[in-house]
Each structure stands twice: as structure tokens, then as C-alpha cells.
């Protein structure tokens, strides 16, 4: 009885005092209603700028858990917190399946939300007529991306990622490949090389040579096989991989028009010291492979995603016709695959920090910002946890079957499956708050899998209301292109939508504040 009373007292103390007053919730709802009514005045400007933020593997459960983590990092209880993406007024759901897969991969999905066409798993920038690994099925099946549409319309374009710049998400913006793993010719089978298929790193340099900003990891795919890495000269795994012996960084610089300045950097201090007004093209490759998890990042040598995004936007804003920028928080996915929820969620919080920064550096009057994921993961959190429970903490009870505690965060499958002396591991005996702790899973797998449920799409800016319901994932770039009057569907551009007059923007902002 005493324990029950204590539990009830503790539970009552978790409720903030203001939330005990019904008027608090009524006022909050009425404020939300007033904001919703303001949305009846649609922003139908032409989008000068487009930013697509892609959280790789950032399913809805990841978004919710990241929200709680963000709040707890700010010393709140967490649940009442708001991510920057959650401040966007329009939300939709995207159906993520690939043409041949119920639960998709990142390559087929990237082709959908960048090129506007659904595709087979493992393939990039090609139609579903292409079979994975079959180089000879590629010819004539190439599909172009919204990055290419923006470039063809005279806009500046950029790619920023925490993975390799040749990884699935970024490469669908510029490459056409029957296999997402063909990072360099060193990863390609002989028949693909003989068939004339190009590796992804080479396509990055050759397909759209005037991409203004490219930042992320993936140095080793740009240099000759066995060439020492500039940062890790004694580590064999970080050496160059190219069989053709080409230096693609040099080739990237040489491909630029005369009089244009193309700058390559590999170190954070170099990046932050750049005078962007004197640079026309920027290539930043900060790791041989993927960039390091945010929790483990070397703050001296490697920039954060937010820092890269800030530089990218300032570079791209120099073009008076506007820009398209793809920003990927790519290692959310990797954290989940490894069963390391803490790594994954901190990656999601950093992506959200970059979203907030980009929102401050641009205007919703002329910039359409879209945040989404390629797919989800079999990641969940539950267990009747009380308000403010540490997101990486234990559920408040033990299992009524094996009498052992369990963490709120669990995976449906993955490397966290552990049997000790014939029973489920007792998590109270391990450091479950460690950054590399692998949360328990129901099924043992070396790598946890993707999830198949729909993912959220958050939108703000011109024509953001076009993202409004349950959509096929490939609809996203069509809606964005329509908003910006790029791509093939431009019949409306001379009639309905109109560019935001720059001189009117301060007055519009003032009106919004007064309303």
C-alpha cells in the first residue's frame, strides 16, 4: 500500500502545475486554431529557393523520440518540446514502397523523391525497367532529378550529407546506376565495367559538372587505389579505391569554366575560413567514408551538418535566380541499423538543428522547405513510461513473464538480441545509456532492418499546401517543381503563381506579426 501511495505521489509530481488547469489546454488549442485559420490565406508565390531535408530512416517513431530527446537536452521533460520541422504548417504522409519491394531501400526511394519516378530497390536515377546489378538494362532508362531541373532553370544547386557524397540519397540527384554500391570502379564487377557503366563518383564529377556545392564524406572513392588518405595516412582501410588511377578531385577542378574558382577542402577549419564571395564551386570531403556520428565527431577536423548547411546556403544565395539544396541527415539510418538508438536520435536532433538554421537564413515567402524521410525503421519506444522518463531509460515495470527490466526503446529485429544463460539479458547489469548501447531486439540480425510504414512530410513556404494528404513518395519533387516553376509542368507559371516581391517581404512579415 505504501509503495502504491508513493507511486501515485510521484506520478502526480510529474505533471507541471500549469497543466492541471483546464484553461491552459483550452488557450493552447485556441492559439493553434487561430494559426490554422491564418493558413486559409495560401502562399501561392513562386518558390525562388527549394530545400529538401531528408532524414534517412527517420520514421515517425524516430521523429517523436527525437522531439523528446531535444526537450530533455534542454532540461525539459521532453514531450511538450517542438522540433523545428514540427513548426512547419503542412504535414503529409508518403508511401515508401519500391516498385519491387514492400519494405524499401534508400536507393529506390531516393529515385522517387528526387526524380519523381518509383524504382526497384538498389537502383539509382533509373526507371523500374532496370534490374539491380544488370548494367546492360540501364541504357535509355535514365531519369533526371529535381536538382537537374533546377540547374537547367538557371538556379544554383547543392548537396550536403553526413554520409558519403556517393551514397544512395545524394547520388540519386546526379547519377544513374543499376547498383547503389558502385561508389567507384573498384566496387564494380568486370561485366559492368566492360558494359560501359560508370561508377557513381565519376558520375558526380561528369554528369552535372556545375553543381555549386557538394559536401559530406567519401574521399577514398575519388583517389587512385592505395593512395594514402590526407587525414589518416597510415590506415589501409581509408586508402583510395579507384582502379582507373584517376584523381577525381583534380578532374572536378579542371572541369570548371575558365575564370571560375573551384575550391576543395577536407578540414573544418579550412571550410569555416573560406571567403565565399570569391568561390564559385565548393567540394568538401571531410572523411574517407561516411562522416563520424555527431556524438563522436572531432570538432576540430569535421564540421557539423548545421555548419555545412550554413556555408551551403550562403554560397547558393549568391545566385539571383535562387537555388535547390538537398540536405541529408544520413546517419540516422546507420545508428538504427546498428541498434544504436542514442546515435540515431542525436543524428536526428542535429538534422533538426540544421533545419532551424536554414529557416533563419531564408524566408518562407520565397523558399519552399520540405522535410521527409526515405523510409522508417523497426524502432519503437513504449512500456507505459511516465512523463519525462529519460528517452534512453527503463520502462517503469519489469516483464511479467521473465521478471526482468526492459528499456523503453526496443527494436523489432537487429544486433541487440542477447541471450544470457538461456534467458533474455538483464539490462540493469549493462550501461543502457551508453552512446553505443545496442537496444534489445525481438529477432537476432547482424543489421536491423528498415520499416515499411508511411513517413511524414513537413512543408513550409510557397505552395507548401500541395503536400497535404497521403501521397506516393514520387509526388514530392513534382509538387516542389510546380512551386518553383521548374521541370516540365510550367503552364501555370505565367498566370497564377507570382514571385514574392523582395521589397514587400518586410511588410508581409509585419502583417503576419500583427494578425
* Three-class secondary structure assignment of 359-381: HHHCCCCCEEEEEEECCEECEEE
Pairwise CA distance, residues 377 & 371, whole Å:
17
CB 284 within 8 A of CB 267: no
81 is catalytic: no
CB 340 within 8 A of CB 447: no
Flag whether 450 is marked binding. yes
CB 128 within 8 A of CB 155: no
Flag whether 465 is marked binding. no
Flag whether 400 is marked binding. no
Flag whether 471 is marked binding. no
Flag whether 347 is marked binding. no
CB 329 within 8 A of CB 294: no
Options 11, 81, 106, 145, the catalytic residue: 106
Pairwise CA distance, residues 54 & 110, whole Å:
9
Flag whether 302 is marked binding. no
Among 212, 178, 349, 218, which Cα is nearest to 283's?
212
Pairwise CA distance, residues 70 & 83, whole Å:
7
| Main-chain dihedrals φ then ψ at residue 370, nearest 5 degrees | -125, 135
Flag whether 152 is marked binding. no
CB 118 within 8 A of CB 102: no
The three three-digit cell numbers of residue 450, written as one number: 528498415
Flag whether 161 is marked binding. no
Residues 6+ away with beta carbon under 8 Å from 461: 43, 47, 364, 365, 366, 367, 368, 369, 483
| Main-chain dihedrals φ then ψ at residue 179, nearest 5 degrees | -145, 125
The three three-digit cell numbers of residue 415, written as one number: 544486433
Flag whether 449 is marked binding. no
Residue numbers belonging to the annotated binding site for Zn(2+): 56, 333, 337, 374-375, 450
Residue numbers belonging to the annotated binding site: 56, 167, 169, 328, 333, 337, 374-375, 450
User: Looking at the annotation, which residues are catalytic?
Assistant: 106
Amino acid at each position: 500500500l505504501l509503495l502504491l501511495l508513493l507511486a501515485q505521489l510521484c506520478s502526480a509530481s510529474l505533471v507541471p502545475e500549469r497543466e492541471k488547469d483546464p484553461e491552459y489546454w483550452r488557450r493552447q488549442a485556441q492559439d493553434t486554431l487561430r494559426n490554422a485559420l491564418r493558413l486559409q490565406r495560401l502562399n501561392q508565390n513562386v518558390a525562388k529557393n527549394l530545400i529538401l531535408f531528408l532524414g534517412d530512416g527517420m520514421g515517425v517513431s524516430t521523429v517523436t523520440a527525437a522531439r523528446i530527446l531535444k526537450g530533455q537536452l534542454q532540461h525539459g521533460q521532453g514531450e511538450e518540446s517542438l522540433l523545428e520541422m514540427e513548426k512547419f504548417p503542412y504535414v503529409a504522409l508518403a508511401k515508401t514502397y519500391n516498385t519491387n519491394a514492400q519494405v524499401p531501400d534508400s536507393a529506390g526511394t531516393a529515385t522517387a523523391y528526387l526524380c519523381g519516378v518509383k524504382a526497384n530497390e538498389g537502383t539509382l536515377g533509373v526507371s523500374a525497367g532496370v534490374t539491380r546489378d544488370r548494367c546492360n538494362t540501364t541504357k535509355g532508362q535514365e531519369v533526371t532529378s529535381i536538382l537537374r531541373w533546377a540547374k537547367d532553370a538557371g538556379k544554383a544547386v547543392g548537396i550536403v550529407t553526413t554520409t558519403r557524397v556517393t551514397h544512395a540519397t545524394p547520388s540519386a540527384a546526379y547519377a544513374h546506376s543499376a547498383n547503389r554500391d558502385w561508389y567507384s570502379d573498384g566496387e564494380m564487377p568486370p561485366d559492368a565495367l566492360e558494359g560501359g557503366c560508370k561508377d557513381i563518383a565519376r558520375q558526380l564529377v561528369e554528369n552535372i559538372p556545375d553543381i555549386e556545392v557538394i559536401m559530406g564524406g567519401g574521399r577514398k572513392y575519388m583517389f587512385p587505389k592505395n593512395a594514402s588518405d590526407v587525414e589518416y595516412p597510415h590506415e589501409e582501410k581509408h586508402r583510395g579505391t579507384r582502379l582507373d588511377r584517376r584523381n577525381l578531385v583534380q578532374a572536378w577542378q579542371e572541369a570548371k569554366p575558365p575564370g571560375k574558382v573551384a575550391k576543395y577542402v577536407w578540414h573544418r577549419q579550412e571550410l569555416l575560413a573560406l571567403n565565399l564571395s570569391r568561390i564559385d564551386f565548393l567540394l568538401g570531403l571531410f572523411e574517407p567514408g561516411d562522416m563520424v556520428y555527431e556524438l563522436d565527431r572531432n570538432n576540430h577536423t569535421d564540421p557539423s551538418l548545421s555548419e555545412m548547411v550554413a556555408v551551403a546556403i550562403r554560397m547558393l544565395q549568391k545566385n539571383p535566380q535562387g537555388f535547390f539544396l538537398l540536405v541529408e541527415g544520413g546517419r540516422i539510418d546507420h545508428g538504427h541499423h546498428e541498434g544504436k538508438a542514442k546515435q540515431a536520435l542525436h543524428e536526428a536532433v542535429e538534422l533538426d538543428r540544421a533545419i532551424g538554421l536554414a529557416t533563419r537564413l531564408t524566408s518562407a515567402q520565397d523558399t519552399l522547405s520540405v522535410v521527409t524521410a526515405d523510409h522508417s525503421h523497426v524502432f519503437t519506444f513504449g512500456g507505459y513510461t511516465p512523463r519525462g522518463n529519460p528517452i534512453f531509460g527503463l520502462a517503469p515495470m519489469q516483464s511479467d513473464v521473465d521478471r526482468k527490466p526492459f528499456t523503453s526503446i526496443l527494436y523489432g529485429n537487429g544486433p541487440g538480441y542477447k541471450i544470457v544463460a538461456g534467458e533474455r539479458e538483464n539490462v540493469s547489469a549493462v550501461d543502457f545509456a551508453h552512446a553505443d548501447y545496442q537496444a534489445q531486439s525481438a529477432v537476432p540480425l547482424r543489421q536491423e532492418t528498415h520499416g515499411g510504414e508511411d513517413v511524414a512530410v513537413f512543408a513550409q513556404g510557397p505552395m507548401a499546401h500541395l503536400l497535404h494528404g497521403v501521397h506516393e513518395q514520387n509526388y514530392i519533387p513534382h509538387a516542389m517543381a510546380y512551386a518553383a516553376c521548374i521541370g516540365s509542368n510550367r503552364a501555370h507559371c505565367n498566370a497564377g503563381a507570382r514571385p514574392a516581391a523582395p521589397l514587400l517581404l518586410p511588410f508581409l512579415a509585419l502583417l503576419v506579426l500583427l494578425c
